[in-house]
Amino acid sequence: MAEKKRVKYLVVDAFAESAFKGNPAAVCLLDDDNDNERDDAWLQSLAAEFNLSETCFLTPIIGDFPRFRLRWFTPVAEVDLCGHATLASAHVLFSTGLIDSETVEFDTLSGALTAKHLKIDDEIELDFPVVPTFEVNYIDDDLSLFSKALNGATIVDVKATKKDILVVLSSWEAVIDLKPRLDEISKCPCEGMMVTASASAGSTFDFCSRYFAPRFGINEDPVTGSAHCALAHYWSLKMNKCDFFAYQVLSLHRYT
């Protein structure tokens, strides 16, 4: 019986400067994209075993410059885009010497994504797509469901992306104090729900947000890079600007 190949992996706390903060992602390094032992069911099972908001898989693509196939899995499903796991993947490649370059390209379900290592500040810059938000004529039953899911919080605007719903509340404090009903969010016509509000006058931030995706095994995501692809689009139209300083709230114990 042939010995099974081992999988090298690292767990990285993305969007953080120290351990046990930010948003953890498991980064798994694969050698062969055609390994029959590692089909989609196997990848999903490993993601369920890690039980993190995202487990991602990196497979090198032979070429003239560093390029990798990148796939992201929650504990229950594969997703099209994930910011923090992409950041974690880039960190692993740049910090461990696996590539001899300050730029790497990822081939993903959302197209080609680029990460650059800015050596002066030792930071990583991600080039991510804009996720447009648009109007949807929700029926009264949908709006009632959203209100119930957010425990009666005052809703001032609702937009949608192809997969998620963006709900704007009346204030920064309303987002922070929100006690969502996860069972009701699971019933909403979306994969995930972004809840956001503009910052108070005089704040160093522009807006805050929280992100819930219980149907995908993520009750609340600590820091969601992909959600900000849509949040930035929404707030750019509202604030008439393109550069933002955003804050994602995490309140793990405020559920009903």
The amino acid at 80: D
Look-up of token digits 């300083």? 245
Q: In what order do the strands lie in the sheet with 164-169?
A: 155-160, 164-169, 192-198, 207-212, 246-248
Under a CB-based contact definition with an 8 Å cutoff, are residues 216 and 80 in contact?
Answer: no
CB-count burial class (<10 Å; 0-12, 13-18, 19+) for 89: buried
Under a CB-based contact definition with an 8 Å cutoff, are residues 136 and 158 in contact?
Answer: yes
Look-up of token digits 């509202």? 238
Judge whether 54 counts as a catalytic residue: yes
Under a CB-based contact definition with an 8 Å cutoff, are residues 218 and 255 in contact?
Answer: no
Among candidate residues 3, 17, 37, 54, the one labeled active-site is 54
Under a CB-based contact definition with an 8 Å cutoff, are residues 103 and 117 in contact?
Answer: yes
DSSP 90-132: HHHHHHTTSSSSSEEEEEETTEEEEEEEETTTTEEEEE-----
Under a CB-based contact definition with an 8 Å cutoff, are residues 181 and 149 in contact?
Answer: yes
- Which amino acids are annotated catalytic? 54
